[in-house]
């Protein structure tokens, strides 16, 4: 098969890394890709992820059999619709189905229609009304930009003062642009957060492993929300009984509900969940693509061939009996630029990538490039984004994978580098 992956970040690097191992693969392309992926796939830096016409043209020119869409923006813009209209099999939902991520207000209304458990909430298009609601609540809340904000449009607000600041940043200062024209204010949920994945062809599903992301910038789940500072899999909080509840109360109702409303969901459904003290799940958010950085440990853990699974889902031929085989554990530690998730400098030379020891040689350690580019002389890499690298390791236990990932993280350096030191701490405490 000839496959085209859309995107340029750490998630896409992980997908490319996994797809490149498939026996069914003939040729792998990525647009725009990055220098970090160039050894695995033919990169097309001239084709941007949001240039729908150029992507369709590239897929035709390269006789692509399957397009795998990484980021959310082109999905909400209708890339999957354009590709399918051109007769090209696509792994990723239609623009209508992608509203589950593209609009938090849409997702909340959808969950209400289909009795899917989630946090209590209110939606506002006027800042004054949002401020008044916060004052009336008199308890912790979560303020979310309605639209896409690269995972950063969420503010956890223990106090009313913090909620007011978040509303002003989103609606008045327009920190997230049009995404903050409308905000959703939710109740603060208690419990343990987890990411759950299911691949679907619109009717049938194949479940993937659960993972746990670390959204806050600083150790101890402090600081601002980011796109994700690290992740690990499996997530011990998802026991067999908890998974049963997730499937019965969330995943299956979403797939049935989207189909009943005329928008069958094809692709990967990523559900962010809060699991309470008795194991009951409530939806925090939906994503309509693989998560970043959860994809990195998932791909390292996955023993099965990914390509046939994505292809079957794209063609509406998924067999629920498909069994995905997993290794024991994997951990990803994100190295970020100084200042992230706010303003940060780029162009900082990265050292240490060529000397990561036997773990890298054995394949138990992989460095996924999230925001890098080659230096002008082509001799090294430098920073080109907020999240720079995903240092990802696997092991026979979370503890072993963690040790490998952090050992490598300490060897890689660049000016301003920072990372969390407590990725997978919940699992290690159990």
Domains parsed from the chain with CATH numbers = 2-91 (3.40.50.20), 120-187 (3.30.1490.20), 191-314 (3.30.470.20), 329-429 (3.90.600.10)
pLDDT of residue 321: 60
pLDDT of residue 261: 97
Partnered with residue 126 across adjacent β-strands are none
* Higher pLDDT pick, 373 / 182: 373
Confidence band of 149 (pLDDT split at 50, 70, 90): confident
pLDDT of residue 146: 86
Residue range 340-365: mean pLDDT, rounded: 92
Task: Choose the weakest-confidence range: 132-146, 217-231, 238-252.
Answer: 132-146
Closest CA to 390 of 6, 5, 13: 13
Confidence band of 430 (pLDDT split at 50, 70, 90): confident
Confidence band of 277 (pLDDT split at 50, 70, 90): very high
Phi, then psi, of 232 in degrees rounded to 5? -145, 160
* Higher pLDDT pick, 58 / 138: 58
pLDDT of residue 322: 74
């Amino acid at each position: 098969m000839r496959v085209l992956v859309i995107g340029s970040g750490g998630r896409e690097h992980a997908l490319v890394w996994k797809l490149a191992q498939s026996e069914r693969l003939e040729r792998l392309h990525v647009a725009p890709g990055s220098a970090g992926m160039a050894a695995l796939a033919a990169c097309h830096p001239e084709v941007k992820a949001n240039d729908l016409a150029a992507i369709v043209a590239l897929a035709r020119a390269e006789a692509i059999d399957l397009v795998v869409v990484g980021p959310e923006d082109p999905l909400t813009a209708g890339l999957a619709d354009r590709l399918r209209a051109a007769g090209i099999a696509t792994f990723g939902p239609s623009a209508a189905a992608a509203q589950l991520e593209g609009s938090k207000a849409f997702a909340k209304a959808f969950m209400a229609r289909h009795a899917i458990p989630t946090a209590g909430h209110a939606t506002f298009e006027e800042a004054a009304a949002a401020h008044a609601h916060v004052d009336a609540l008199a308890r912790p809340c979560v303020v979310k930009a309605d639209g896409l904000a690269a995972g950063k449009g969420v503010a956890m607000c223990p106090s009313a003062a913090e909620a007011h600041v978040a509303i002003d940043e989103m609606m008045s200062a327009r920190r997230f642009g049009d995404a903050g024209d409308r905000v959703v204010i939710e109740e603060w949920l208690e419990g343990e957060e987890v990411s759950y994945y299911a691949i679907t062809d619109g009717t049938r599903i194949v479940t993937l492993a659960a993972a746990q992301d670390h959204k806050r910038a600083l150790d101890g789940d402090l600081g601002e929300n980011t796109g994700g500072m690290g992740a690990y899999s499996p997530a011990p909080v998802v026991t067999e009984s908890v998974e049963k509840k997730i499937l019965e109360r969330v995943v299956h109702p979403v797939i049935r509900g989207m189909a009943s409303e005329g928008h069958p969901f094809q692709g990967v459904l990523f559900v962010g969940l809060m699991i309470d003290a008795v194991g009951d799940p409530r939806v925090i958010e939906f994503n309509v693509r693989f998560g970043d950085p959860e994809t990195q440990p998932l791909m390292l853990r996955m023993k099965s061939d990914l390509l046939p699974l994505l292809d079957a889902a794209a063609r509406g031929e998924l067999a629920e009996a498909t069994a995905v085989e997993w290794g024991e554990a994997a951990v990803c530690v994100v190295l970020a630029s100084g200042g992230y998730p706010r303003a940060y400098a780029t162009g900082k030379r990265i050292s240490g990538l060529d000397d990561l020891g036997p773990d890298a040689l054995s394949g138990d350690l992989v460095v996924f490039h999230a925001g890098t580019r080659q230096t002008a002389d082509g001799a090294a890499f430098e920073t080109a984004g907020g999240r720079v690298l995903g240092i990802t390791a696997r092991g026979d236990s979370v503890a072993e994978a963690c040790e490998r990932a952090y050992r490598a993280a300490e060897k890689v350096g660049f000016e301003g580098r920072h990372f969390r030191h407590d990725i997978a701490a919940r699992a290690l405490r159990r």
